[in-house]
Structure 1
Amino acid sequence: MSTDLPQAHAASVPDVFDPTCSSRHALELIAGKWQMLIISALEEGPMRNAALMRRLGDVSQKMLTQTLKELERNGLVMREDKKTVPPHVEYSLSPVGRSLSETLLVLDRWAETHFGTLDAARERYDAERAK
């Protein structure tokens, strides 16, 4: 039994700057606002749909549902149907989703720390362009 990699993967090294590398899909998957916020919210523990909507604040039901399905499809979120009446479904992070949430926590803190600087820069830029 050969342990050689298939020819297409033998010479390839993951590189996000290579347009054919699947790592780009991983970046696209997590780059959206809702994906990042959902993963960060689920770091707090399993949540039901309504609790996620309250935590996120301004997400529509349609966007939340689509994003949760995408995250579940890609193995970042797990959906557990409790099989009760009324329906009770909880979402939680998978192990790989939990590893991502640790990274996103750093980004969340960065945004919370620097949003004022970004707001001021945007206001200066817009004011200069309005002259």
Structure 2
Amino acid sequence: MISLGSNINSEENFSKALVHLQQLGFIMQRSAFIKTKPLKFEEQPEFLNGAILLNTKKSLSELKMHLKQIEALLGRVRTENKNAPREIDLDVTTYNGFIIDEDLAVFPFLIDFVQQLQPEIQLEK
């Protein structure tokens, strides 16, 4: 599962990201896209967040590399503030049925996305 987040031209950047993500495999499912308030750095616009379930033959390291390339193509500039506004943020949340994103506990909507798209994964409560 890949999570998507954006608070700069969100709808446009989500659309562009989905086109690129389709080139990495088959998008099996997609969560609802929701608006959320920024949690760690609050002085910025709301985020659009969502997730896709991607069937891919890419290894985890290949997938992460491709996600960083897509972020760069869409104009993401990384700064010292890890929580600054961004055109797009793409993260592998689950891979081969395992949770690999450490931010799952920090962002409750990620838990909701896992429950929507992969209810078979047992989440610690």
> As a proportion of its length, which structure holds more helix?
1
Please give the TM-score of this superposition, normalised by the length of structure 2: 0.26
